[in-house]
Structure 1
Amino acid sequence: MMPQPRVTFSVITAAYEAAATIGAAVESVLRQTYPALEMIISDDGSTDSIAEALEPFKADVTVVSNPHRGPGATRNAALRVASGDFVVILDADDVYEPRRLEALAGLIQRRPELDIATTDAFLERNGNVVGRFYNESFPFPEEKQRGEILRRCFLFAPAVRRERIDAIGGFDESAEVVPAEDWDCWIRLVLDGARAGVVQEPLVRYRLHAGSLTANRAQSLRARVAVLEKAAKRSDLTAEELDGLERSIARRRRDAVVAEAAAAAATGAPDVRARSLAMLLTHGVGARERLRAAAGVVSPKIVCPSGTSPVSTRRTSSGSCLSSRGERSSRCTVHIPGLGPKTLSRFNPCSFIASLKSRSGRS
């Protein structure tokens, strides 16, 4: 059997205001046991000191400067100058373990039918590992990848065969798919026949950051709805795939309504009642969320459990948020003045609102 030709990698990094983290990302690529053909930093019109941060690496990286247009356009600018067999994604605040490219090359050489290759990743916060990207509840699917990619984004920082990503036109540059432009790209690749494989070893450190969970989650969910609605327009979906896609869209629409109501309550937005009412009337919302929505209509104070606060994180490709402990949800309790915390397993919003109004003296 003839040996497979050596695989070449172009590592591409879209950077925006990433001066504080870009150095570690570059160093992790330069330390690879299997050297990359090139590393391309595509800067999305940053106004920080990223140029100075990259100065020590100017002989080792290619920098592409762009006006500020968003992650899709910024990645596409890097794709246009990439020359490797595969392009490999690295976010500006993540780092590779030294063996990542070696592991990807080995997988591709063992399985030349693959167009997409990835590895597991450590989820890290403040330097501490809090989980892994793939686990029992979120496995990598070896089979039925078309249906799975419409249900969840199971690819993380993958290596993609360059002619494949060129054939689909790269990343969507429109604002409505941000920050889910990567999932949109992987959907189009898999539905067009690309096959994905994984090395079940965590070889990336995916950094989680504190921030505003509720607002980011609402935006992320709306972007995912836009991505799935775009996919639903394809004519090559099977009846089973279309049925699963419709369920996925409905679930994320519902989750987006809940997240928007939570964001409005957390920020004291003037439309908090309207957002809460929308959540209350949305089909499929769970009892706890409906309780919170009813409280929002009557102006309660919504707080998190004592001693905690919402924490973020960066979005994950699975379409959910990760807390500082690596969990995929954030629990809250409704505290209603005069009534205390409320939880119900079976909930009638109309009677609940009526009881609140009667207690508060409102008609």
Structure 2
Amino acid sequence: MRSADRTWPVLAPEPEVQPEPLRIAPSMSVVVAAYQAERTLAAALDSALAQTLPPLEVVVCDDGSTDDTAAVLERYAGRVLVVRQDNGGEAAAKNAAVEAASGDFVVVLDADDVFEAERLEALTWLAVRRPDLDVLTTDAVVEADGREVRRAYHPGWTFPVEDQRAEILSRNFVLGLAAVRRERWLEVGGFDRSLSRATDWDFWLRLVLGGSRVGLVDAPLARYQLATGTLSSDRIGVVRARVVVLERADARDDLAPHERAVVGAALRRERLDLTVRSAVASLSGSPAAARRAHLRLAVHPGLSPGGRVRAVVGVVAPARLAARRRRRGDGRVEIGSGLWVQPLD
């Protein structure tokens, strides 16, 4: 089959009015935020430049790297547009790359990930046929330490086509290596620099609640690297950031009653998760800190009866729970029936 004749499997909301396919394909700019990326950046850029449908441009923001990222970028002189700034974080770097881009869509490529050769072709194919969609993504193969783990979308993390507003209030269902209509990115203000974590969920949430809809090419057209070895304190920070994102959403005045209920349930879930993680982390600290953390957990309204018993044990005998955690040796702690603390992706 010739590339131009190829069709792709798609998951997307039904259009309110069947759109006419575009006569001219929208242009795609690949945007990369790079910080201390000397080991992985070349592979990412090579994958962007080797597309069967080449991008309009590849824009890299070097976010104040002090390693050899600049030397890597020198090898791509004339093929990649580079903008540089003092270190301001991933959100600021992605925004800067988007501002420097000129394509109709900007396609996010993280500096440690790679695109399969047909990814831009597939995204453009969908953009032509569904001009009502502002955000486009694909499935991906998730890797950890060079080993394939799973697909990005799987039975435990599905792509919704119905009521995406409610879904985005419950969970972040958008694979971050997405193509976003550039004017929409700028309209909503891009990534929020005040958030050091959960910035992507906050961004997709503002886009979807602002009227944008998301489509998926249901094929694994990228390789996404899963961060490993995250410290417990970092995992707590991620959950705390999720709570902030949901609190902002809950403060909006444009939510329907069922959407308000969804974000309320998500907030209760994340707050409980934060309380649980804080209690578990406290087991490696002072007994007094462990007792205080488990007391907060014990009175949490969302905890199961079994979990409440364990939390009480943590109040009166935190060393007992700490010893049980060491004996398990798998990095997980059962706080209640069906309630486990696990590393975050």
TM-score bucket of the superposed structures, by smaller chain? 0.7 to 0.9
Match of 1:332 in 2: 333
* Inter-partner Cα distance in structure 2 for 1:164 and 1:273: 48
1:360 aligns to what? none
Q: How much does 1:162 deviate? A: 0.8
- Judge conservation of contact 1:265–1:302 (CA < 8 Å) in 2: no
The normalised TM-score by structure 2 is 0.84
Distance 1:303 1:159, change over 3 A: farther
- Residue number among 222, 226, 236 corresponding to 2:240 in the alignment: 222
Instruction: Find out whether 1:254 has 2:272 as its counterpart.
Output: yes
Task: Report the 3-state secondary structure (helix = DSSP H, G, I; strand = E; otherwise coil) of the residue aligned with 1:271.
Answer: helix
User: Which of 151, 154, 157 matches 1:138?
Assistant: 157
Cα drift, residue 203 of structure 1: 1.0
Matched, 1:7 2:7: no
Please, which runs of 5 or more residues in structure 2 have no aligned partner? 1-19, 339-345
Structure 1 unaligned spans of 5+: 311-330, 335-343, 347-363
Secondary structure of the 1:219 match is helix
- Give, as a single letter, the amino acid of the residue that structure 2 aligns with 1:161: R
CA distance in 2, matches of 1:15, 1:267: 36
CA contact (8 A) 2:29 2:101 kept: yes
The 8 Å contact of residues 150 and 244 in structure 1, kept in 2 or not, is answered as: yes
**Alignment pair present for 1:197 and 2:197:** no
> Quick one: which amino acid aligns to residue 192 of structure 2?
D
Query: Which residue in the other structure is 1:103 paired with?
Result: 122
Offset at 1:77?
1.1
> Which residue type is aligned with residue 198 of structure 2?
A
Corresponding residue number in structure 2 for 1:152: 171
Write the deviation string for residues 261-318 of structure 1: whole angstroms up to 9, x where unpaired: 22333566973332222222222124565455334332322555768543xxxxxxxx
Q: Which amino acid aligns with 1:332?
A: V
Please state if 1:32 is matched with 2:51.
Answer: yes
Counterpart Cα distance in 2 of 1:137 and 1:152 = 12
The amino acid of 1:171's aligned partner reads F
Distance 2:49 2:39 in 1: 18
Question: TM-score when scaled to structure 1?
Answer: 0.80
Q: Cα distance, 1:188 vs. partner?
A: 0.8
Moved more, 273-282 or 138-147: 273-282
**Aligned with 1:235 (options 227, 239, 253):** 253
* 1:134, distance to aligned residue in structure 2 (A): 0.9
CA contact under 8 A between 1:305 and 1:332: conserved in structure 2? no
Distance 1:261 1:161 in 2: 42
Distance in structure 1 (CA, Å) of the matches to 2:131 and 2:82: 31
Match of 1:164 in 2: 184
1:284 counterpart (294, 302, 308): 302
Match of 2:15 in 1: none
2:293 corresponds to which of 275, 278, 286: 275
Q: Deviations over 1:50-104 (max 9, x none)?
A: 1122221222212221222222222111121110000111111111111111111
Matched, 1:181 2:182: no
Higher relative contact order (CA 8 A, sep 6+): 2
Q: 1:262 to 1:105 in 2, by over 3 A?
A: same
**Letter matched to residue 293 of structure 1:** A
Residues 42, 65 of structure 1: 8 Å contact kept: yes
Matched-pair contact (CA < 8 Å) for 1:8–1:37: yes
Distance 2:152 2:279 in 1: 28
With over 3 angstroms needed to count, the CA separation of the structure-2 counterparts of 1:247 and 1:3, relative to structure 1, is: closer
Amino acid at match of 1:200: D
Check the 8 A contact 2:287/2:318 in 1, yes or no: no
Q: Is the 8 A contact 1:41 1:63 kept in 2?
A: yes
Of 70, 77, 86, 2:89 maps to 70
**What is the total number of aligned residue pairs between the two structures?**
315
Contact 1:124-1:131 within 8 A present in 2 as well: yes
Check conservation: 2:202, 2:245, Cα contact below 8 A: yes
Is the Cα contact below 8 Å between 1:266 and 1:302 reproduced in 2?
no
Cα RMSD after superposing both structures:
2.4
